[in-house]
Amino acid sequence: MASTPRTRARAQTLADITRIGREHLAADGAAALSLRAVARDLGVVSSAVYRYVASRDELLTLLVVDGYTELGDTVDAAVDAADGPKEKFLALGRTVRQWGLREPARYALLFGSPVPGYHAPAEQTTGPGTRVITTLVAVLHSAWQTRRPDVETDPPELASLHGSFEDIRAQMEMDLPDGLIALGVMVWASLFGAISFDVFDQYGASTFSSRDALFEYQLGLLANFAGLDP
């Protein structure tokens, strides 16, 4: 469908609302977001903004989708430029951390504490929100197709979760056994745990002289744990 002046104007206004919303998110936090404040900075009356974003929750959803999309695009570009599963994994981890340190308020909106009273609509946020994990699964799956880690295929401890793993296999279109999916979940949780500790300053300001060095070591351990060494 060809764009028209009206559709272009609407797209530009939504882009401006998103940009201003990001600025307010960084300055005041998600719980303090206000459409009236966004309208003021946009230079229009509140009713004009409500034609595009009907509520604070819709503004939050706009910012959530915007954040997931930017992070997904950035990660995919870094992973595509890397050679081999281990380098792709390292690129993914470094890129998520760099984005989080550069955009701490947006990272917190995506991966921090829930915003009181806000429930993200799954039909709008699930696709963008699973892009990074989908890329991570693709990297691990590619590596494990040729050389699988020494992990029990179907551990009896996971028997009660077999149905859940079946759903994951169907959703992700892969054929990994339960044990390897559980390993992938562990890698995912550990990676984002390390990044979140850094972004949210959980270590304390002076505990480590180089957080970069610490993260690189953690990332290397996770690559080894996942069986990604050459």
CA-based nearest residue to 190, from 229, 228, 220: 220
| Residue 215 CB neighbour total at 10 angstroms | 19
User: What is the model's pTM?
Assistant: 0.93
User: For all residues of the chain together, what is the average pLDDT?
Assistant: 94
Q: How confident is the model at residue 118 (pLDDT cuts 50, 70, 90)?
A: very high
Mean pLDDT of the 38-49 span = 91
Give the per-residue pLDDT at 205. Answer: 84
pLDDT digits (tens, 9 = 90+) for 177-223: 999 999 999 999 999 999 999 999 999 988 999 999 999 999 999 99
pLDDT digits (tens, 9 = 90+) for 49-81: 999 999 999 999 999 999 999 999 999 999 999
Give the per-residue pLDDT at 2. Answer: 61
The structure tokens listed for 118 are 């806000």
Give the per-residue pLDDT at 230. Answer: 63
| Residue 48 CB neighbour total at 10 angstroms | 12
89 vs 86: CA distance, rounded Å: 5
Mean pLDDT of the 165-182 span = 93
173 vs 92: CA distance, rounded Å: 21
Indicate the length of the chain as a whole number: 230
Give yes or no for residue 1 having a pLDDT over 60.
no
Residues 6+ apart with CB under 8 A from 141: 172, 174, 176
Give the per-residue pLDDT at 46. Answer: 86
40 vs 21: CA distance, rounded Å: 12
Tell me the C-alpha to C-alpha distance, in Å, between residue 147 and each of 99, 140, 144, 175, 225. 31, 10, 5, 14, 13
Give the per-residue pLDDT at 131. Answer: 97
53 vs 47: CA distance, rounded Å: 10
